A and B are shown apart, each in its own frame.
Chain A
Amino acid sequence: MTAAVKIPSSSKAARETLLSRAAKVPPAYFVFVILLVTLWLTRPQMININVMGTFIRQVAPLGILVLGQLLVMRVRSIDLSGAGVVLIINYVISSGILGDANAGLLVIVALAIGVSLGLVNGLLIGKRRASAVLVTLAVNTILVGVVQFLASGKPPGNVPDAFGDVYNVKYLSLPSPVIFWIVLTGVMAVFLSRFVFGRHVSSVGENPVAAHFSGVPVERTVIIAHTIAGLMAGIAGLVQTSSLGVGSIRFGADLPLEAVAATILGGVVFGRGDGGVWGPFFGVLSFALLFVVMTSFGVPDAGKLIARGLIIMLAATYYGLRTNS
């Protein structure tokens, strides 16, 4: 009797978890699959590791920036200073203000810039409790101003050849920036799932008050998250600079907002702790694929903007409706 009652209820429960699990899949995966199928049906010759590699290589800086963005968004913060960090690193490398520094030193300086800017963001947001949107926006504005002032409006110069050499290497017909991005994503995934810090991130994102009373160092978690985001922005700056090959003072203004969009598409939601690392990864891939599909159909830039906005809106709506019910 009891067994007869139990079995249906447990199978119903199983069905429910299966359904709710399906609903938990980030929209990025669906968008990615839909775009891939569209491309495969209409332009099968494009599905080719060399062609795709070239396109995906271009979004690697965005993908690395997203790794930092998802971290700060999971602790209920946001980082809009990515564009400024990428710009200043591009300037430092291409202007030669460090004299004849070798590539290794330049890399270390770039990473140090990223980390220290992230730490400044983190301290102002975590310790001073200033608004994350405004702090990172202000830091971004200052950095853009500093770069333009130092360069006095002109493109600074060339990037040392070593960067381009590393950038153009291919292993197993995958471009090196793509491999680097995948490895970095894997490291971040392990870091968040296997280390105590990852647990802290989840609990702060879930409920900062509860986290505080359970002994989780909320401030420190936010500060570290922002510092890592700064480091990621530094790495993104290095990859972006290598891809450009020259100094530039006007690029990447949309980078931080694109990173937020890809993170949302990947299933990380403001003010909630959930979300993984691979969802946003496919969010970035979806953006790359969207670009390929739209270009192959000859859609003008205006149409690309509209399609991208609609996809972000639909992805966010999908999440919003799910949390409503």
Chain B
Amino acid sequence: MIVTFRRLLTGQDSRQGLWFLPLTIGCLGFLWLLIGVDGFRNPQNLLNLITQAIPLLLVGLGQMLVILVGGLDLSVGSVVSLTTAILALDAPGYVLLPTVFLVAGLIGLINGLAITRLNVHPIIATLSMQIILRGITLILLPTAGGVIPEIVKQSVSGRLSVLWLAAAVFVGWKLIHGSRFGLHLFAIGGGVAADRQDTASKYGVADRRNVVLAYVLCSTFAAVAGVFLAGRIVSGDPNVGLLLEIDSITAVAIGGTQLTGGVGSLHGTIIGVVMMTLLANGMNLGNVSAFVQTIIKGSILLVIVALQSRKKIGL
């Protein structure tokens, strides 16, 4: 009992990491916003909150899969931008939508293969992918604009975003906590965190295949986020995904997932995403300047990261 309690409070020796503290901070913040800030309570704002959270949640879920195996994907923001750029091309929706997911899958496949087969460090592989994709996006769509297929616009309008949220959480739960794949991710990441890369494979877990799959799913999640964003802004934008990779890593890390791998949870990631969204929404309503918001966001990340205990020094 005492052990469980300490594990909850410090995140030590826990597979789910330090998620309880951010949950407490998030709940307090939510209460304060409900009571203290006037515009926050109205139903339209709460619906907005969901709409604002969905892209980050989708990208964060994908990011979490690769972070669980001790990787990192810096190309997700570019994938989001590229997706909106492809959707803004002049072609019918039944051509563009499959193209988007095919491209995203291919990007994830290249990332995963470069990391597992060619032995490239995840930061480098996905960083170069990010730079390449930014170039390709600028060729396809130099400035924001273009027309998005009708079907995409309709599927994200109004209250339908609640469905997106439910679907994202369900798929995330299925992948991370409800499948053999998720269990394998924890096994692989646990080995990587302990500097014993081959632990999982010694227990019969196909590590390379699962890692590649994690990267493919990560890019696919980013593409879904791109489709959602394209529908919301009703045009393509080559810069829409800028810094999304950093925001997604922040959200995942706030939720207690450790960058060394093997530690994390779905509810942690959801807490992280909700906290980031509440922070932005609440401070906008409270007329806090965007610059101060950046400072507060960075400080929260710094505090939470400093509170997470690990054994390894470095990355």
Contacts and interface: CB of A to CB of B under 8 A. Distances in A.
Contact of B306 (A130, A302, A303): A130
B110 to A, nearest CB: 9
Contacts of A78: 123, 314-315
B298 A141 contact: yes
Contact of A132 (B114, B132, B291, B314): B314
A137 B301 contact: yes
Given A219-B313, A309-B132, A316 B125 contact: yes
Overall SS of chain A's interface: helix
A90 B142 CA distance: 30
Contacts of B208: none
B310 A138 contact: no
Contact of B135 (A77, A140, A304): A304
Given A313-B128, A321-B118, A131 B315 contact: yes
B259 interface: yes
Nearest to A131: B259
B119 interface: yes
Given A131-B258, A270-B123, A302 B301 contact: no
Interface stretch (A8-16, A22-30, A100-108, A143-151): A143-151
Contact of A138 (B114, B298, B314): B298
Given A141-B301, A270-B121, A309 B313 contact: no
Interface in A174-222: 208-209, 218-219, 222
Nearest to A78: B315
B119 A261 contact: no
Contacts of A173: none
Report, as a range, how many residues of chain A touch the other chain: 35 or more
A142 interface: yes
Given A130-B305, A138-B305, A302 B132 contact: no
Interface in A125-142: 125-126, 128-135, 137-142
A128 B305 CA distance: 9
Contact of A264 (B124, B260, B308, B314): B124
Given A77-B314, A138-B298, A139-B302, A309 B124 contact: no
A97 interface: no
Interface in A76-131: 76-78, 124-126, 128-131
Nearest to A313: B128
A65 to B, nearest CB: 16
A264 B301 CA distance: 27
B312 A129 contact: yes
A75 B314 CA distance: 8
Contacts of B308: 130-131
A134 B72 CA distance: 12
Interface in B160-195: 195
A305 interface: yes
A76 B142 CA distance: 38
B275 interface: no
Interface in B31-79: 72
B315 A142 contact: no
Interface of B: 72, 114, 118-121, 123-125, 127-136, 138-139, 142, 195, 246, 249-250, 253, 258-260, 289-299, 301-302, 305-306, 308-315
Given A141-B246, A149-B292, A305-B131, 11 more contacts: A133-B123, A137-B250, A218-B313, A222-B313, A257-B127, A260-B127, A264-B124, A304-B135, A309-B134, A316-B128, A317-B118
5 contacts: A76-B315, A130-B306, A148-B291, A219-B313, A320-B119
